[in-house]
Structure 1
Amino acid sequence: MKKSKNTWQLATYQTERLSTIPSMASAVSKKISLFVQSHRKMVDEASLFFIHYQTDLKRLQKLKKNLANYSEQIDIINDYKKEHGKLPLIINQSSTDKYLTQLYRLEQQIKKEYATLQSKIIQQKINRFEALDHLTDNMLDLLSNQRIFSQFLGTIALSTPLPDEEVRCIRNEKYKPIYIAGLAVALFEEIRLTHDFKNPYLKDCMQDMFDDNNASFMALEQNELSNEVMAQYREDVLKPIAKAALLQSIGSYSPQAQAIFSGDRYRMLSVKERSQLIEIVRLKSIDYFKFGIGIPQRKVNTLQEKIEYTQFEQKKLSFMLSFFEKETEDNTELLKLLRIPLIYSSFMVSTKPEFNYKKIYTAYDTLKESALKREIDPLYTKLFLSMVGYFPLGSGIYFISQETNAIEKGIVSSLYPANPHEPICKQITRHQIKSQSQKEVIVSPKTNIFFTQARLNSEFEPEFYELKYKSTYTWNANEVWEVQIPALEFWRKDGTRKVNDQIIVKEY
């Protein structure tokens, strides 16, 4: 039995929105472009916020203090008149009546200035909240099942610039927050299905939320949650996580952080500079959530509803802030959760000046090794690696087709492989000529020439491999994306998968 909800909560959950989630993401590329544009607008606005917010807040505080001083003086004079029947004499003032009139005028002037500045600050907070809320809502529409999520994440990976393109760092910086947020939500869902969270907000929020704990927000094809549960889960749990992930580096656009970058956001920082930057980003990101967004405005019917709404939204805000705070018992799970997508994204959407594409095939082992050293959470890492597999989504592989006995090209097209070393791919050549079907191929290590044993067991000689592939047994699929491989054609799937597991073995 799920918990009963307050009146204001029932109005919050937009179950009618769920019917608009696309069953086929035929325009995912366009959607991602819109996500990136929306996020960049938020970044540009945040840059201005960081310049002005402290001045505005100090000005507001000063006006409030001055207003209180004038009001107090007016009250003292009026109280004296009530008690004594006449106005008091004021030192250095020839006429108390004129002085009182001046006080009233100054009070009204400051009230107007205070109201104008307060209204501006509130409206800007509303605008920021709505921009972030709409972005996370639209993103979660593309995370509602494994198939559309694979297309969402794969499109980002395949759309990143080539290693030697000058715009690579700039464009990847724009894609990166979207990529991280998607992975963070997906990883949270994997953890939620198998483990309970100790975080007070999550425990309270998700208590009795699910009738069936096995029902997944990200099922293979069709979301298994009821509309009411899915809407509540999105609103109270997934959206706050996505928001924190999307804005995990928002503080890097503050003047203090920009000073450390010294005009180059992508240069290698010294240990001292990096340490300073991390602390600045953390503190300024907290300020952005606290003073730049805060608790959203909402109309309620009664004082009790207002109290309940404010209390709950404050808890939600505190939950998002805990992603940026120093580690405690309450937020350790959240920091461990976010750390894994952050590391993985540094391989897939790299903003380093020097970048070797082949490094993406080392991400799996790097995370696995870090988990063994307890640098990242072993349990969370295991779930994450099971989700992404050894061969990253959107990466290119070569495999020996059991149908053609030729070495064909494939692009990893789905997450959640049954075996991390058996990527789910779309085959894009047949007899080494461009060819696509709607069927996916599960490539076993026996036929994937990335693995030494597959090459040794094949009928092709080592000299052939060395001459043709020059010890590079993977390829950059970004080179052909939307040039030779149209996105709509690539992502079209009929739901069937064949297993490529056998090759013609050498005869000795």
Structure 2
Amino acid sequence: MTTNLSDSDYTRSVQSLINQIQQNSTRKDSFFELAQIYYTSCQADAGTLRTCQANLKGAEEYLETVSESKREYAQKQVKKFARELKDEEQKQTNDRQLRYKCLANICVNVLRLTEGKNLQQTNLKSSKLLATLFMLSSTESSNRQQMHHLYKPLYKAVLSLRLLDKMLLEGKLNNTYITSRFDSNTRFSQKAGSYSQFQLDVAIPVIIAALLQDIGMQHPEAQRLLKGADSSQDEFRVLEKETRTILLIINHEQTQDFLTNGIGISKYEGDDPEKKQRFEKKQLNRMKFVSGLLLDAVKPSENSIGNIIKIPQIYSSFVLSTKPTYRFLDLPNVVTVLNNSAKHAFICSQANECFIQLVGYFPLGLGVLYVQPHDIGEKLNNYFYGIVTRLSPEHPKTPTCRRISISKDISDNPKDFTLLESNNLFFDTPKHCLDEMSPEDLVTLRNTHMRQLNETKLPEINEGFWNPHHYFSISKHQILWD
């Protein structure tokens, strides 16, 4: 993926992970590209396998009836077709294992970037990744839809993991597969490069389910409906209801097919039959759990595990929208979208409450404008800029932020702070603190802020928040979590 960002090492690692998941490359080695290759070749591969099997069966039947004079030739034919069948099976197994290893490597990298030794470290690392994804994705560029499309699977996977933990800690999950493997003392690995049993049995399958949720859209028939037979249509256009319904059916069916036949389970490396049996049983249980998550997410019930990936899917589709129109000022309305979904029983109300407590009203990476707490009630001549940087705010309407503005008035204040509703210029009441400032003074102040932040444009205070994409594109500004 081309970018004009001056990336830090961290943002480069995030971009690398995005590229592992999905990109448009000549090498065709990202996970979504491998899925597309599978969908375009699976029928031909199945046909080749059937031909090899039929050839061998025919040769074996011929061997049973052939005369002694032709027996040697018939035996050679059996060996030839047996070798061809074995080679084809091995080729298809290798292709499947390549896809599996690609996915496994992605999951390991997701855990590496989002999970620490405890919940506190994990929430910090996840906050950093989610905010980075949001700030890297320009909302104003011509390729905004494509960029959001590429970032969304990773964004959704991270949110799914954190919702899983939130619901477990609050006792809001009753799925036996999950709860029987959960112990808060052993949830996270204490050693770098190793993984807890919960991470292997539950966390990684949740990542897989979140990443695979829309993988069926890579199927040729789905691509034809999205882009047209000659690829001339805009895949991000608003679809007719009938077309969307057909696409959802194709996506669900083909996603399940890809999970079973395109990925399967990891190959056991060893000679111990008992260990192999235990290994394959664990692998099959994990894939069964993934399949259940995907199935339940189509229409999750009140207590369905599908909510773990369905709610992040709705949230991600709003924050990283691929719709033709995108209004940055509408972002805090995502909570209203979630609440309406819960009201109409599209998602679980308890799970939705957990999720809103997790993310708050203001998406991670969103820029905020605020006035100083001790100045409330006074007439002011300044306001300041910050960025939302933490999951799990004290209250959904009071985000945890990092101070961005440079001013002697706030130099002694901590860099990280909880932005109260009474100080947040997104809300109407705090704006009155600046009523006595003249339009000219406001313009002068805004120009001062633009110079300090290296921003070419900043919003008026009546908009209440700002887009930090350009600010974050400067590498020295990417250290927001030191």
TM-score by length of 1: 0.78
Residue 308 of structure 1 and its aligned partner are, at CA, apart by 2.1
Equivalent residue in structure 1 for 2:423, among 412, 436, 447: 447
* 2:261 counterpart residue number: 291
SS of 1:419's partner is: coil
Residue 431 of structure 1 and its aligned partner are, at CA, apart by 4.3
* 2:132 counterpart residue number: 155
Does structure 1 residue 71 correspond to structure 2 residue 48?
no
Q: How far apart are the structure 2 equivalents of 1:225 and 1:416?
A: 23
> 1:332-375 CA deviation, whole Å, 9 max, x = no partner?
62322211101111122111121111121211222123223322
Does structure 1 residue 27 correspond to structure 2 residue 9?
yes
Residue 294 of structure 1 and its aligned partner are, at CA, apart by 0.5
Contact 1:427 1:435 in 2 (8 A): no
Contact 1:396 1:410 in 2 (8 A): yes
* 1:372 counterpart residue number: 343
**1:353-372, aligned counterparts within 5 Å?**
353-372=324-343
> 1:191-235 CA deviation, whole Å, 9 max, x = no partner?
11122644453355x1xx52xx4x485xxxxx6878999521111
Contact 1:201 1:316 in 2 (8 A): no
CA spacing shift, 1:467–1:362, aligned 2, 3 Å: farther
Residue 154 of structure 1 and its aligned partner are, at CA, apart by 0.5
Q: How far apart are the structure 1 equivalents of 2:300 and 2:147?
A: 37
Residue 393 of structure 1 and its aligned partner are, at CA, apart by 0.8
Q: How far apart are the structure 2 equivalents of 1:444 and 1:310?
A: 52
Letter in structure 2 aligned against 1:370:
S
SS of 1:392's partner is: coil
Larger mean CA deviation between 190-199 and 120-129 belongs to 190-199
Contact 1:187 1:337 in 2 (8 A): yes
Letter in structure 2 aligned against 1:340:
I
**1:85-100, aligned counterparts within 5 Å?**
96-100=67-71
**1:97-496, aligned counterparts within 5 Å?**
97-144=68-115, 145-163=122-140, 165-195=141-171, 197-204=173-180, 206=181, 209-210=182-183, 213=184, 215=185, 217=187, 231-261=196-226, 262=228, 263=231, 264-325=234-295, 333-402=304-373, 405=380, 406-431=382-407, 439-456=415-432, 458-461=433-436, 469=460, 471-483=462-474, 486-492=476-482
> 1:284-312 CA deviation, whole Å, 9 max, x = no partner?
11111111111110124422222222222
Contact 2:300 2:346 in 1 (8 A): no
SS of 1:69's partner is: helix
* 2:454 counterpart residue number: none
Residue 403 of structure 1 and its aligned partner are, at CA, apart by 6.5
Q: How far apart are the structure 2 equivalents of 1:309 and 1:224?
A: 21
CA spacing shift, 1:351–1:117, aligned 2, 3 Å: same
Contact 1:154 1:394 in 2 (8 A): yes
CA spacing shift, 1:330–1:167, aligned 2, 3 Å: closer
Count of aligned positions: 436
* 2:44 counterpart residue number: 55
Q: C-alpha root-mean-square deviation of aligned residues, in Å?
A: 3.1
Q: How far apart are the structure 2 equivalents of 1:121 and 1:422?
A: 53
Q: How far apart are the structure 1 equivalents of 2:74 and 2:441?
A: 89
Letter in structure 2 aligned against 1:334:
I
CA spacing shift, 1:426–1:112, aligned 2, 3 Å: same
> 1:29-86 CA deviation, whole Å, 9 max, x = no partner?
1221111111121111211111111221232133223313322442x34xxxxxxxxx
SS of 1:188's partner is: helix
Q: How far apart are the structure 2 equivalents of 1:118 and 1:229?
A: 33
CA spacing shift, 1:470–1:190, aligned 2, 3 Å: closer
Letter in structure 2 aligned against 1:415:
L
Q: How far apart are the structure 2 equivalents of 1:39 and 1:293?
A: 15
Letter in structure 1 aligned against 2:13:
K
Larger mean CA deviation between 287-296 and 56-65 belongs to 56-65
CA spacing shift, 1:160–1:73, aligned 2, 3 Å: same
Q: How far apart are the structure 2 equivalents of 1:363 and 1:140?
A: 26
Flag structure 1 segments of 5+ consecutive residues without an equivalent.
1-25, 78-89, 91-95, 218-222, 493-508
Contact 2:265 2:284 in 1 (8 A): yes
Larger mean CA deviation between 178-187 and 117-126 belongs to 117-126
Q: How far apart are the structure 2 equivalents of 1:244 and 1:465?
A: 54
* 1:5 counterpart residue number: none
Letter in structure 2 aligned against 1:474:
F
Residue 282 of structure 1 and its aligned partner are, at CA, apart by 1.0
Flag structure 2 segments of 5+ consecutive residues without an equivalent.
1-7, 23-29, 116-121, 444-459
Q: How far apart are the structure 2 equivalents of 1:244 and 1:237?
A: 11
SS of 1:411's partner is: strand
Contact 1:155 1:394 in 2 (8 A): yes
Contact 2:300 2:348 in 1 (8 A): no
Q: How far apart are the structure 2 equivalents of 1:122 and 1:481?
A: 44
Contact 2:387 2:401 in 1 (8 A): yes
Letter in structure 1 aligned against 2:317:
S
Q: How far apart are the structure 2 equivalents of 1:477 and 1:363?
A: 19
